[in-house]
Structure 1
Amino acid sequence: MAVKKKPIATPSPAGASSPASKANARARRRSLRLHGTIARDLGVLIVSGRYKPGELLNGEIAASDRLHVSRGAYREAVRILAAKGLVESRPKVGTRISQPERWHMLDPDVLSWIFEFEPDEHLLTSLFELRKIVEPQAAALAALRRTDEHLEAMARGLEGMAKHTLAVEAGRLADQEFHSALLRASGNEFVMSLTSGVGAAISWTTIFKQRDNPLSRDPMPDHVRVYEAIKASDPQAAHKAMENLVDLAFLDTTNARRPRMKAAK
């Protein structure tokens, strides 16, 4: 009597995924989106002042039940907030809203949450004070230390801004490229470490300025003056041009904020 041989299972080719693994991957992506959304919603409530420093968040079980999410998703959202300094979790105490001085204010997510609604006037002023402390001196250093590659990157940023304008994302990305190249050109590692934060600040203030109406003033000439001073290796002119750029950007932002504040009253 012939014995029927069982078929031998062949392994999947490298990189291939089984239906189960694909389903697991989709579940992980959904989970990532979910706890990211929870973190964003809680983050907005914290930075807007709805949740006050020192207040305790709901416990994990109560919060997950209220939000209709898993405890794991809520726990991951709290970890995100803790990594950004917005909350602090302690055993037997719970999760408490941190004091603002502990917040990672230049974190791109935190900045996006601040500009989700109408940002606090003091926070806006403080943000531009920081830019005015950092960027003019960075421009002066860039005038002394820039390379041809830095100038080329800044020129690409200017070209992108002129082509797309700051009203669209492509133009804002070009603006970020300009400022990022300038910070790199400073040659200072600590200044360069601020690139993502400064870039996010510039992007979100630009979006805020144009949320209701297009920007009435063309900021391109301000950027060109900074570029020309750096290209000419003139640190004093670069410092002055960047200082003027930041001052005018602050004026644009406050002018955009006033009509909305009046309308809200």
Structure 2
Amino acid sequence: MPSRARTTTIIDTPEGRKLLRIHGTIARDIGIRIVSGQFQPGEVLNGEVEASDRLRVSRTAYREAVRILAAKGLVESRPKTGTRVSPRAKWHLLDPDVLSWIFEFEPGDDLLASLFELRKIVEPEAAALAAQRRTEAQVTAMAEALADMTEHTLASPEGRAADQHFHAALLEASGNPFLVTLTSGVGAAVAWTTIFKQRHMPLSRDPIPDHRRVFEAVAAGNAKAAHKAMANLVDMAFLDTTRALPGPADRNAT
């Protein structure tokens, strides 16, 4: 509770908002270094005084940055031993910030495969439940998101936001509160893999028809078809992503 009160004060004052931007930037910088392997699990980060002097920021800003990283499972701070990078098993990999930091560089093939493996486990089942439990309002929300995706395309920020809204509406329509808690993580995964696929060249195919098949099955109340359509959507998204990965020659050149 004390940390919450302190955070509220930071946000609600001009000085606090500036501090929030500073420690958010510090957390992002360190977070990228951790998830990219520059800082290895078990490695002890610089002490508070040394780090704040090196970064030319206040000790309070650095301390708040470390708290952000600790809340995301990336580091652990203990008296006398300092702040140590946590094993990857403790990282909150579906945290939107952590995912964004992972996609700041070329994520490993195994990590990408694991991310889509998780989506393949979760989203087809959610689609099947949505077909059985969706409300008219949720069907409308999915239809509007699909229309926005079609209008703006996934090459635009508006289209990618609509894509996130589509997946969020589907998870909500599942009626399972535990699945709904995955909304931010799934949405971030969808957004960042879509950006990743297009970082060098436009998408080689249009994925919107895959979404339309999911929508039509959910709207029709056909759980089996919804499950199949969503499984195919995830499979095709994974294929698109692997095609966007650099080849061995490209990796050796970087």
Pairwise TM-score range, normalised by the shorter structure: over 0.9
- How far does residue 29 in structure 1 lie from its aligned partner after superposition? 1.7
What is the root-mean-square deviation in Å for CA atoms of aligned residues? 1.1
- How far does residue 27 in structure 1 lie from its aligned partner after superposition? 2.1
The equivalent of 1:152 in structure 2 is 140
The equivalent of 1:178 in structure 2 is 166
Residue 73 of structure 2 aligns to a residue whose secondary structure is: coil
Aligned pair 1:264/2:251, yes or no? Answer: yes
- How far does residue 104 in structure 1 lie from its aligned partner after superposition? 0.6
The equivalent of 1:207 in structure 2 is 195
Q: Which runs of 5+ in 2 are unaligned?
A: 1-11
CA displacement 1:135-164 (0-9 Å, x = unmatched): 000000001001111100000110010000
Aligned pair 1:67/2:55, yes or no? Answer: yes
- How far does residue 216 in structure 1 lie from its aligned partner after superposition? 1.1
CA displacement 1:14-66 (0-9 Å, x = unmatched): xxxxxxxxxx9332221111000000000000001110001100100111111
Partner letter of residue 47 of structure 1? V
Aligned pair 1:249/2:237, yes or no? Answer: yes
Alignment of 1:201-240 (within 5 A): 201-240=189-228
The equivalent of 2:9 in structure 1 is none
Aligned residues: 241
- How far does residue 264 in structure 1 lie from its aligned partner after superposition? 3.0
Aligned pair 1:26/2:27, yes or no? Answer: no
Partner letter of residue 242 of structure 2? T
- How far does residue 115 in structure 1 lie from its aligned partner after superposition? 0.2
1:51 to 31, 39, 59: 39
The equivalent of 1:163 in structure 2 is 151
CA displacement 1:48-93 (0-9 Å, x = unmatched): 1110001100100111111111111100000000000000000011
Partner letter of residue 154 of structure 1? M
2:186 to 198, 201, 209: 198
Rounded to whole Å, the distance in 1 between the matches of 2:158 and 2:59 is 39
> If you compute each CA radius of gyration, which structure gives the higher value, 1 or 2?
1
Rounded to whole Å, the distance in 2 between the matches of 1:135 and 1:25 is 41
Residue 77 of structure 2 aligns to a residue whose secondary structure is: strand
Moved >4 Å (runs of 4+): none
The equivalent of 2:3 in structure 1 is none
- How far does residue 181 in structure 1 lie from its aligned partner after superposition? 0.5
Q: Which runs of 5+ in 1 are unaligned?
A: 1-23
Aligned pair 1:85/2:76, yes or no? Answer: no
- How far does residue 180 in structure 1 lie from its aligned partner after superposition? 0.5
Identical-pair percentage:
68
TM-score, normalized by length of structure 1? 0.89
